[in-house]
Amino acid sequence: MINRKFYTCCFTGHRPNKLLYIYDKKSIKFLILKYKLKRTIKHFIKKGYIYFISGMALGIDIMCAELVLELKKKYFQIQLECAIPCKNQTNRWSDKNIERYNKILSIADKVTYISNCDYFNGCMQKRNKYMIDNSTLLIAVFSGANGGTKQTIEYAKSKKIKIKILKA
């Protein structure tokens, strides 16, 4: 039996409030980041990674999920799991972002609800722990700022999984 965890990669990165260009699809910064992320994901697909987990938060998580789905057209063996921290994750999101989120969920290979409750303090950390505990690679978009991305990277280091950091 194949150890799925060995071939699994998860993502972490900043929310849009820390990456103001993340929704400006014509921005040079956005285009460069998207190119680097896509190239990095392809690199690890070629190294044998076929399972990808996205925490489905606004910003980098959604961007990575969309890139995996785009790459799935060429690399049909890859799979996307969406790890949802709580039932009402999209509660304060715009209609446009909810539409993107629901589209991804509808075509993902697996959707895992980490909690069947509404948002609670710690649900995002619980989701991040789930992703790291079920992966051997973390791809992070990180500026060095304190917050959930930094905490996820630190947890990944404590679990001794491979980490690829792209500068935000």
Q: How many domains does the chain have?
A: 1
20 domain-assigned: no
104 domain-assigned: yes
> Using CB atoms within 10 A of its CB, is residue 129 exposed (0-12), middle (13-18) or buried (19+)?
middle
pLDDT confidence of residue 145: 86
pLDDT confidence of residue 168: 78
Residue 140 pairs in a beta bridge with 12, 165
pLDDT confidence of residue 77: 94
CATH of the domain at 120: 3.40.50.450
Amino acid occupying residue 73 = K
Look at residue 1 and tell me whether its pLDDT is greater than 50: no
Q: 115 near 123, Cβ under 8 Å? A: yes
Q: Residue range 53-69: average pLDDT?
A: 96
Look at residue 162 and tell me whether its pLDDT is greater than 60: yes
Three-state secondary structure string covering 70-126: HHCCCCCCCEEEEEECCCCCCCCCCHHHHHHHHHHHHHCCEEEECCCCCCCCCHHHH
148 domain-assigned: yes
21 domain-assigned: no
Q: How far is CA 86 from CA 61, 115, 123, 125, 136, in A?
A: 15, 5, 7, 11, 24
137 domain-assigned: yes
> Sign of the CA dihedral 25, 27, 30, 35?
positive
162 domain-assigned: yes
Q: Residue range 66-78: average pLDDT?
A: 97
Residue 145 domain boundaries: 4-14+26-167
CA 10 to chain centre: 6
Look at residue 70 and tell me whether its pLDDT is greater than 80: yes
At 121-148, the pLDDT tens digits run 999 999 999 999 999 999 999 988 888 9
19 domain-assigned: no
Q: Residue range 82-103: average pLDDT?
A: 96
